């Protein structure tokens, strides 16, 4: 028996159907009404509306003095006010989902800003912007949102809200909103996407998965109808017609005796066209059924075989495998086979890696061909259904899982997890913008599940970045729990500043002040290290609240002060080199890392007005150690003391 089924969400969406009904009702009352722009994009339907007295105009002025219908896209507030002033009557058929967005943007504080994610030329976006209390900006991508902040169009202290065009691609919206949340957490995001399109596609997919033939009805130029046809073709034989007159003759011929014929239609296809197609199909099937009745009843009588139809789940035993497919036994008249692409989602996997003769697997029938006596089955579609359930559980438990990156696709990469394809958007791969996603192919990666939906036959979105972040956060938490003063790390120089260098010690970057880089005198940190250098550092102090760590690259064992106090004592006369001159004295290096101060009063027995006229940097001088302050690690030197030491001896000689 051949049955006809119409997809659950075929044809007009709720908003368009409501607008058409309002227009038709208004035309019934007023005789003739005008819509601001075409109500729907379907020639036959527009012609039909015209006959009922519903005509389109391009501006409010053209409908002055007449009855005007505002279509489902909505209009700017000023346009509606103008219509109320100029027209005899105005019927507002703005879709309630769009009106809800008008309510959101109209209720916001005038001091803020609104970003409308969508196409700035689309009438719906124009209408939303024209109903916004704060200043409104349209943007299609994350980059365009960034431009609004960077250019100053959105003020630093503005309260910022974001709404999205109802028909915006959900996947893109998820990606963009995630990135906005991370970079501009102050943006209040309203998810205002309408599900009508996704639901229409989903019910077409579900029906096509069970049908031996799909009939898609709609305008040839309608992009949403073309997309429906594409989806159906992925699953079964599909014909695309604009109306009933285009239905091919003998369309039901060659269909299996027991199968489903599905009908779906685009968003602008009126119900009566769908009905006409249904009727024609019904008549075709009746004729075919009559002709084939005898053959069908013969088949019915044969109970020894499993009767197969598209969508039936079966146990399949693998009989043999080749490079391209696995031949299976399913207890039916037909020979079963599963091509490699229906065994796995991994484009790199071989058939023999997946199944071997004797294996019993779950599979679903995707096509029965009674003419040649074969039945095509799919393993991956059964796996995908089970995979969705499993991945939903993984998401709910916020687990991290592992999978192999199979390929790069538009906007990201595909990871295979137990035969289920998981899409990782480019911004969630952890590869920096401009980096090569190809580098990930073949690698096993850890990731989180951030979305599981039944749309498009099951869709799972993952994030490597979130898994990486979790690892980093855990490492940071452990770091702050275990850090101690004196702890040693092997770090890598991340950046160099005038006051010191930042060193990556794993979980955080710590600061080594210039003075803590080495025991010797340092001009600029770049004279000592460069970015990427590996250095050993010791924790000097840390602040878990401010997440700051102060480090030192000086090895305590090389402390020159220890060496100095072990070799020198007060009263020693030594040689030292002048290293700097100040107003109050000169510093002289005793050993590398230990300088002593020759105070201006200790330079000579004479009064010294200008130190530079007596001493020069680099000059080697004899000095006496006159004081060692061990606590403050300071040394006082004197040249004058040498002269004073010498004077009494000379006097004694003269006596």
For residue 343, give the H/E element and its range. helix 340-343
Separation CA 385–CA 345 (nearest Å) = 13
- Summarize the chain as % helix, strand, coil (round to 5): 35, 30, 35
In the bound state with ligand F3S, the residue whose beta carbon lies nearer, of 123 and 593, is 123
Separation CA 593–CA 302 (nearest Å) = 101
Confirm if 267 and 196 have CB atoms less than 8 A apart.
Answer: yes
Beta bridge partners of 493: 503
SS3 state of residue 139? strand
Sheet of 237-241: strands edge to edge? Answer: 2-6, 259-265, 213-217, 237-241
Contacting residues for 414 by C-beta, under 8 A, at least 6 apart: 345, 405, 406, 407, 408, 421, 422, 423, 424
Separation CA 451–CA 469 (nearest Å) = 18
Separation CA 252–CA 261 (nearest Å) = 9
Confirm if 288 and 2 have CB atoms less than 8 A apart.
Answer: yes
In the bound state with ligand F3S, the residue whose beta carbon lies nearer, of 17 and 140, is 17
Site for ligand F3S, rule CB under 6 A: 13-16, 72, 95, 97-98, 166-167, 194, 196
Q: What is the 3-state secondary structure (H, E, C) of 13-50?
A: CHHHHHHHHHHHHHHHHHCCEEEECCCCCCHHHHHHHH
Nearest-5° Cα angle at 347, 341 to 352: 70
Separation CA 524–CA 530 (nearest Å) = 11
For residue 62, give the H/E element and its range. none
Q: CB-hemisphere CA count at 13 Å for 19?
A: 31
Separation CA 285–CA 283 (nearest Å) = 5
Separation CA 643–CA 610 (nearest Å) = 19
The tokens describing 369, both together, are: 């061909």
Sheet of 135-139: strands edge to edge? Answer: 135-139, 113-117, 160-164, 188-189
SS3 state of residue 214? strand
Q: List, by residue number, the catalytic residues.
A: 124
Integer angstrom CA distances of residue 454 from 12, 201, 204, 426, 461: 22, 11, 13, 22, 12
């Amino acid at each position: 028996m051949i049955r006809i089924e119409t997809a659950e969400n075929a044809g007009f969406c709720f908003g368009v159907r409501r607008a058409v009904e309002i227009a038709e009702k208004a035309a019934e009352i007023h005789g003739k009404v005008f819509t601001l722009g075409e109500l729907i994009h379907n020639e036959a339907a527009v012609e039909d509306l015209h006959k009922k007295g519903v005509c389109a105009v391009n501006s409010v002025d053209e409908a002055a003095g007449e009855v005007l219908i505002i279509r489902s896209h909505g209009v700017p507030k000023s346009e509606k006010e103008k219509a109320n002033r100029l027209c005899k009557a105005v019927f507002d058929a703005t879709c309630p989902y769009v009106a809800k967005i008008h309510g959101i943007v109209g209720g916001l504080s005038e001091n803020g800003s609104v970003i409308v994610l969508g196409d700035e030329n689309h009438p719906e976006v124009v209408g939303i912007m024209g109903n916004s209390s704060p200043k409104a900006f349209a943007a299609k991508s994350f980059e365009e949102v960034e431009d609004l902040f960077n250019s100053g169009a959105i003020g630093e202290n503005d309260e910022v809200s974001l709404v999205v065009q109802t028909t915006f691609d959900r996947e893109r919206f998820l990606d963009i909103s995630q990135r906005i949340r991370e970079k501009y957490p102050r943006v209040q995001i309203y998810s205002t996407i309408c599900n009508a399109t996704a639901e229409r596609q989903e019910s077409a997919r579900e029906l096509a998965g069970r049908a031996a033939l799909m009939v898609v009805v709609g305008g040839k130029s309608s992009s949403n109808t073309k997309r429906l046809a594409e989806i159906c073709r992925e699953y079964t034989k599909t014909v695309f017609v604009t109306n009933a007159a285009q239905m091919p003759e003998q369309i039901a011929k060659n269909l299996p005796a027991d199968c489903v014929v599905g009908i779906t239609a685009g968003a602008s296809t009126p119900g009566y066209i769908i009905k006409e197609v249904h009727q024609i199909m019904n008549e075709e099937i009746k004729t075919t059924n009559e002709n084939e009745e005898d053959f069908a009843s013969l088949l019915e009588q044969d109970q020894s075989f499993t009767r197969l139809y598209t969508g039936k789940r079966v146990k399949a035993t693998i009989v043999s495998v080749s490079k391209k497919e696995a031949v299976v036994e399913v207890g039916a008249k037909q020979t079963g086979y599963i091509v490699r692409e229906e065994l796995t989602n991994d484009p790199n996997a071989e058939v023999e890696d997946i199944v071997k003769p004797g294996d019993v697997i779950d599979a679903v029938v995707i096509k029965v061909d009674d003419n040649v006596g074969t039945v095509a089955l799919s393993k991956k579609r059964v796996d995908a259904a089970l995979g969705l359930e499993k991945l939903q559980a993984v998401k709910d438990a916020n687990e991290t899982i592992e999978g192999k990156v199979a390929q790069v696709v538009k906007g990201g990469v595909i990871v295979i997890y137990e035969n289920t394809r998981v899409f990782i958007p480019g911004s969630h791969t952890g590869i920096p913008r401009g980096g090569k996603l190809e580098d990930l192919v073949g690698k096993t990666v850890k990731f989180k599940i951030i979305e599981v939906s039944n749309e498009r036959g099951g869709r799972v979105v993952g994030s490597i970045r979130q898994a990486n972040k979790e690892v980093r956060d855990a490492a940071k938490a452990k770091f702050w729990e275990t850090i101690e003063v004196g702890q040693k790390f092997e770090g890598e120089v991340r950046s160099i500043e005038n006051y010191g260098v930042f060193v990556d010690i794993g979980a955080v970057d710590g600061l080594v002040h210039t003075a803590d880089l080495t025991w010797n005198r340092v001009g600029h940190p770049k004279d000592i290290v460069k970015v990427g250098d590996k250095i050993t550092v010791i924790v000097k102090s840390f602040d878990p609240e401010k997440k700051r760590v102060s480090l030192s690259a000086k090895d305590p064992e090389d402390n020159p002060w220890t060496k100095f106090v072990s070799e020198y004592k007060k009263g020693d006369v030594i040689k030292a080199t002048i290293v700097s001159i100040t107003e109050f004295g000169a510093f002289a290096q005793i050993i590398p890392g230990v300088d002593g101060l020759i105070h201006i009063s200790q330079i000579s027995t004479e009064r010294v007005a200008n130190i530079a006229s007596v001493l020069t940097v680099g000059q080697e001088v004899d000095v006496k150690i006159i004081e060692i302050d061990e606590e403050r690690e300071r040394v006082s030197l004197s040249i004058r003391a040498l002269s004073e030491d010498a004077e009494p001896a000379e006097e004694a000689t003269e006596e």
